[in-house]
Chain A
Amino acid sequence: MMGAADNPFVDRFVSAFAERQARLPGASVPWMRRLRSEAIERFVELGLPTTRDEDWKYTNVAGIGRRAFDVVADVSLEGVGELVAAHALPGTHRLVFVDGHYMSALSQVGALPEGAHIGSLALASVTYADRLAEFFGGGNAADGFGALNEALWSDGAWIDLAPGVVIEEPVHLLFVTNRGDAASFPHNLVQTGDGAGVTVIEHHVGPDDASYLTDAVTRIVVGKSARVNHTKLQQESRKSFHIARIAAEQARDSRFGSHAFAFGAQLARSAIATRLAEGCDTEFVGLYVGDGRRHVDHHTFIDHAEPRGTSRELYKGVLDGSARAVFNGRVIVRPDAQGTDAQQTNRNLLLSDDAEVDTKPQLEIWADDVKCAHGATVGQLDEDQLYYLRSRGIGEADARALLIRAFALETLAGVVFDPLRARLEALLPGRRVQAI
């Protein structure tokens, strides 16, 4: 860990915390205040991760530590309207956050069934503090970024579904950073009762060329037999830093799907984890696209803690220029998790000699009656496929684009919400051939 005591990055946020803690959401709620104080202490203790930490071996965040980011208190809405209009998805309940703060005027939540809450976590921390207390995590952040979020979170979504409540329209959480040098700390909490169901789209955007830090945490509690689908769409500015954790906890017979699409940021890191109780089903799908000198890191963790869980994981990367990607996929099958069926695949397409990927599947199996498989590949475009397309008259650049797109397209298979699918298709690398 970095020597925290004399680190300007740490000092800056400790001062920001001291200055603001009385005004942070939940300040009037003793247990919340205590969690924040513990978190800032843990942040001081941990500092920022370094490449000496096994989990951060290939992702160097020293560049973040040298930057002076500001915690934004007074949000400017200039230019936000266009960003929201450009990124809104029709047919969703939409919550908009600017620089980490909820903007009710830009948000739009339609009629909800009885027993469904969708709104700002900061507001809920006042009115529903007791309810939040049952689910609020914290106190055990794995690294300095997690601790910093727990100390300084400004707002985020609170989605709470009573047992049996299913929300048909996806919930679109749009996080807009609107100024350079901003640090924002979104914190989302999704709680679903037994048999409930919801699709959440967590979407991060920022203006071109702005350099800023997003440090986000999303916690998802999936009730018995509940179904939660979480899609993350990371379209941060190409000069920004994006660090995020998504942690799910699945009660028995539940289904959780995580789809992660990473297109932006100078440096992006997502840690996505779930724990499966008995009979759970999990799908992890990801696509990361890098070019220039950008860096994208995914750490996934699927914890088969109990019997008869099924997990399917597919992550694909397309890397050009001098981009660098990290995929670390950990799957653990604990001694009680008999009858587990787990599959993991990571495939990478390198489009230039200077692009690089570090892929590390980690399968730890402690039960004996299990079916587990994993595979990782790193390669270039297939020469035979290129030649075949060219021999039909398709130019080399088009043929390459066609194959790149075909490679990436597989990760969209589970995206069933049409407006989101259309958005993703437009963002895929490679050329789109007009449909007939």
Chain B
Amino acid sequence: MLEIRNLHVTVDDKPILHGLDLSVGPGEVHAIMGPNGSGKSTLAHVLAGREGYVVTDGEVRYLGRDLLALSAEERAREGIFLAFQYPVEIPGVANIYLLKSALNAIRRHRGEAELDAMDFLSLVKAKLRLMEMDESLLYRAVNEGFSGGEKKRNEILQMAVLAPRLAILDETDSGLDIDALKVVAKGVTAMRDPERSMILVTHYQRLLDHIRPDRVHVLAQGRIALSGGPELALELERKGYGWVEAEARKEAGSAAGGVGR
């Protein structure tokens, strides 16, 4: 599904990722954990196609294609979805307009007919129920005046409607109370599918109590410092990130020495 090799990324001339490798197979759920500033969000946005993130080396292949050659909208149409850590407010654009425009753009790309109003509404309403959201949210401006929890639920609602092949959830658990976390986790779990891969970017273990990942990776110093099974998340919860970071720094130091810097 997704193959990342030796990815180097700079933002505003500042190197953030250097030498990241990651492989995610179909149907797999991977958790990317790590301390603040380790590059987790950068990885999420590089995959989604945000401008201003400069790839200086390495490659990303998605379904066998060069992902980095595609624009943000092309990636979305090819089945990539990023649930934002900070969903953007768009006054004047109703939530339902965004959903309909996005879904139809993706369907057109796939050569499918646009959904008519009836089919579209029944699809959206089913997903609203799943996310325990009120129908009135559809007619409000995108994320405008939404509470933190409503914004995160709205992200998962969009994901449920757009049915991506690769979903990247950027700190979807942050800022959620325990009830909202359960609803979000339920929505995500309902979307697990042998054809759909997920990357859960998170600082804490707690989302992983509800969504059990196949693999857990720790990002430190701009690369994957450690990988393991679900038990790694629990170990990190107990021991913190300090020891992984120390290991990563040591390794980065010796690597830098190796190229004579």
Contacts and interface: CB of A to CB of B under 8 A. Distances in A.
A391 B106 CA distance: 11
Contacts of B76: 390-393
B204 interface: no
B98 interface: yes
Given A392-B98, A393-B76, A393-B109, 4 more contacts: A389-B102, A390-B49, A393-B103, A396-B73
A409 B92 contact: yes
B92 A410 contact: yes
Nearest to A402: B93
Nearest to B114: A434
B105 A391 contact: no
9 contacts: A387-B88, A389-B98, A391-B49, A392-B162, A393-B106, A396-B71, A407-B92, A410-B91, A436-B121
B96 interface: yes
Interface residues of B, number: 35
B117 A391 contact: no
Contact of B73 (A393, A433, A436): A393
Given A406-B92, A409-B92, A433-B97, A387 B105 contact: no
Interface in A363-403: 383-385, 387-396, 398-399, 402-403
Contacts of A403: 90, 92-93
A388 B51 CA distance: 11
A376 B135 CA distance: 35
Interface string A392-436: 111110110011011101100000000000000000000001101
Interface of B: 48-51, 71-73, 75-77, 81-82, 84, 87-88, 90-93, 96-98, 100-103, 105-106, 109, 117, 120-121, 141, 158, 162
Contacts of A398: 101, 105
Given A433-B97, A436-B120, A436-B121, A391 B92 contact: no
A105 to B, nearest CB: 42
Contacts of A436: 96, 100, 117, 120-121
Task: Say whether chain B's binding surface is mostly helix, strand, loop, or mixed.
Answer: helix
Given A390-B73, A392-B158, A393-B162, A402 B88 contact: no
B92 A392 contact: no
B141 to A, nearest CB: 8
A396 B101 CA distance: 12
A385 B88 CA distance: 6
A405 B94 CA distance: 12
Nearest to B106: A393
Given A406-B91, A436-B121, A391 B98 contact: no
A186 to B, nearest CB: 34
Task: Say whether chain A's binding surface is mostly helix, strand, loop, or mixed.
Answer: helix
Nearest to B104: A393
Contact of A406 (B50, B88, B90, B117): B90
A410 B48 CA distance: 31
Contacts of A434: 100
Contacts of B98: 389, 392, 394
B73 A395 contact: yes
Nearest to B117: A436
Interface centre among A385, A388, A403, A410 (most CB of B within 10 A): A388
The 3 lowest CB-CB distance pairs between A and B, nearest first, are: A406-B92, A393-B76, A392-B102
A388 B162 contact: no
Given A392-B162, A393-B77, A387 B72 contact: yes
A390 B71 contact: yes
A387 B101 contact: no
Nearest to A405: B92
Contacts of B49: 390-391
A390 B102 CA distance: 9
A10 B91 CA distance: 49
A392 B79 CA distance: 10
A367 to B, nearest CB: 34
Contacts of A391: 48-50, 72-73, 75-76, 81-82, 84
B158 to A, nearest CB: 7
Contacts of B102: 389, 392-394
Interface centre among A396, A402, A409, A410 (most CB of B within 10 A): A402
Contacts of B77: 393
Interface centre among B51, B73, B106 (most CB of A within 10 A): B73
A394 B87 contact: no
Nearest to B107: A393
Contacts of B82: 391
A436 B95 CA distance: 12
Contacts of A388: 84, 87-88, 90
Contacts of A395: 73, 105
Contacts of B73: 390-391, 393-396, 399
A395 B75 CA distance: 11
A385 B90 contact: yes
B54 to A, nearest CB: 15
B106 to A, nearest CB: 5
